[in-house]
Amino acid sequence: MFISQTATAREVMEQFRASRLRAQDAREHEQEAQREKLRDSAVQLREPNHRPSTSPANTTLPTFKIGDAKGFDFVTEPGAKPGLGNLSDDGAKNFFAAMREAAAKPDVAGRDISVAKAAKAVVTDWLAKHGLTNKHHGVVDTALHETRAQVAFASREIGQRLGLNPVESQLMGYSLERAFEKAGFKVFANHAYDATVNVFKASASSIATAAGMRHSAESTLSKSLNWMATHGVTHEALKDALAKHSGKFSVIVEAAQHPEIVQRVAYALTKSDKLMDGVMAIAHDSELRKSVGTLALAAGEDVAAVNKTAGSIAILAGSALRGDSAEDTARHAFRAGMAVLGGIAGGAMGGGVGSVFTGLVGAEIGSRLADKVLDMYDKHMGKGPHVQEHTVSRAELRESTGVVAERVVDKLHEAETRGKLPGNMASREREMEREYSMVKSLGKS
Amino acid sequence: MNLVDYTHPGRVPRLYLPDDRRSANYYIRLNKLPPSHPYHSIHWALFRYPEWLEGGSAWVQSKAIYDDLQRLAEAKGVDVTMLRPVVGSDDPGFDEALAQALRTFDLRPMVAEVVPRTMAMPSNPSSGA
């Protein structure tokens, strides 16, 4: 408030009164808006998370290796054998038997159960190694917690041993990571499906960064989805978006960045018409690369386990689908959108135009992620937790990923001719290494 | 019913629990306090990760809630641990931090999540409140 030096007492009084009235008015408006918002919302009670979110593993503490786990070479736990790591022969037999059983399961739930069995085998082995046999599970919990028990593994290595392809082994790896966390371990895991990331060396800072990124991705995701939900992007708009603009369903991927970006995307989603251009325009190359991480994380058991993130995605997807007579159409659109995004992300990660493979992989992950989200939706909307939505058939997947990959390659080619992507794999590797190890953790969002 | 309502009155719809101790003061961040206040801090969180250790404001507020709950329990003549505080301010991170902090007092808190009515679960009993 500006009060001139020469104002009379009366003028000063007037100005004070006016400003107070303005402030009061603004407050009332705000409260009115808030009341309105509250009228349209409901409350759900939930328990706080059982395991107060797991802190990252520590690179200086002894770590139980499963297999060779290359890249985690600071491990100090004695008795690691080549090929087996710290697993005993019996433990390895049980572990791989359970994993093989898991790999044969077609559905998420069944796979998770078998993977949990595998994790259990490792727990037993770890306990036996430390002289804790046949103890009450409370004692076991405490022991794992107090000693900060850690495991390290590389999904691709385990997958190769089971005869899985890179994507499948990655999915299994995520499931395994979640299972270990549930069992009480802190986990080092390398989920790379591509030899490119073999340059990854785990350091304290890179681990902390990865953990921080995952955490902030989750929290921004929930915040962004809340934002979308409360700003009218929900029902009709999203249904429309799913049906017509599925290719631009980049909100989930972009949520890794900032809520602002998501708001931008959501806006573009409701306003713009072109399909791929939107995604390519909004997401710069580096953003895409970071989003690969998010996509992969989401494809893991973050989505399958009932947590905040999964809940919001599922509810969001659910609100789009609910009351929709052409439910299948929307589902396909959603799945296609996720596949497109996965393809873009994968393609960008591979780096070159020639890397159709990574595009395919990404598309596959995207499609599977969509399946998982839809699974979650079904569970949430009361079809019961026992509904087993089977994943897409492989032929179907090949077909759709082929299309997606083609388009991604086209787009990437275009981008490259415009000089946006470096074609050189080697420089890409170096770049990624730098990014993994030296990037500052994302800001608090 | 042993639930006690500590949710933010402006941001969470009323739960209509018998014990209503709602106050916006439980959700003030330490950096929002006047600089002369003894608890004033330039950061509201101590750590960025993990979320429940964000601490700072959430720890201070959880102590305030615990004290209030203890007073309530004394007035009712029951043990504090029999009462379950319900917290929530439509900020998932802070609410989780608050709930985890309350757990360190051996309480079993619950978190109230605000969802748009159109997205509420069909079977949700509190959606009609």
Which ipTM value was assigned to this complex? 0.85
Q: Which of residues 37-56 of B touch A (CB under 8 A)?
A: 45, 48-53
From the list B28, B18, B115, B20, the residue with the least C-alpha distance to B7 is: B20
Average per-residue pLDDT for chain B = 84
Judge if pTM exceeds 0.95.
no
**Chain B residues touching A46 at Cβ < 8 A:** 110-111, 113
pLDDT band at B112 (very low <50, low <70, confident <90, very high): very high
From the list A386, A407, A396, the residue with the least C-alpha distance to A341 is: A407
Cβ count within 10 A of residue A169: 25
- State how far residue B19 is from chain A, nearest Cα, in angstroms: 16
Residue B21 has pLDDT above 90, yes or no: yes
pLDDT in single tens digits along all 445 residues of chain A: 677 778 889 988 999 999 999 999 999 998 898 888 888 888 888 888 655 445 667 777 888 999 888 878 766 677 888 888 999 999 999 999 999 999 888 777 788 899 999 999 999 999 998 888 877 777 787 788 778 888 999 888 899 899 887 767 777 888 898 889 888 888 888 876 555 445 555 666 556 555 554 554 455 445 444 544 554 444 444 444 444 433 333 333 333 333 333 334 334 433 433 333 434 433 443 443 333 333 333 333 233 232 333 333 333 333 333 333 233 434 444 444 454 444 444 433 333 322 333 344 444 455 555 555 555 445 444 444 433 333 334 444 444 444 444 544 555 455 555 544 444 434 444 444 444 333 333 433 3
Q: Which of residues 58-87 of B touch A (CB under 8 A)?
A: 86
From the list A54, A57, A308, A209, the residue with the least C-alpha distance to B50 is: A54
> Is the previous residue joined to A62 through a cis bond, with omega within 30 degrees of 0?
no
Residue B2 has pLDDT above 60, yes or no: yes
The set of residues, in sequence order, having a beta carbon less than 8 Å from that of A339 and lying 6+ positions away, is A363, A364, A366, A367, A370, A400, A401, A404
For the four alpha carbons of A395, A400, A404 and A406, in that order, the dihedral sign comes to positive
Give the pLDDT confidence score for residue A194 in this predicted structure: 55
Give the pLDDT confidence score for residue A312 in this predicted structure: 32
- B92 interfaces chain A, CB cutoff of 8 Å: yes
Give the pLDDT confidence score for residue B60 in this predicted structure: 92
Contacts 24+ apart (CB under 8 A), A307-310: A307/A49, A307/A218, A308/A218, A308/A222, A308/B92, A309/A218, A309/A221, A309/A222, A310/A373, A310/A376
Choose among B110, B119, B129: nearest Cβ to A315.
B119
Mean pLDDT calculated for residue range B28-57: 78
**Chain B residues touching A52 at Cβ < 8 A:** 50, 52-53, 100, 103
Q: Which of B31, B49, B94 to mutate against chain A (most A CBs within 10 Å)?
A: B49
Give the pLDDT confidence score for residue B120 in this predicted structure: 60
Choose among A49, A215, A229: nearest Cβ to B116.
A229
- Calpha distance A287→A284 (Å, rounded): 5
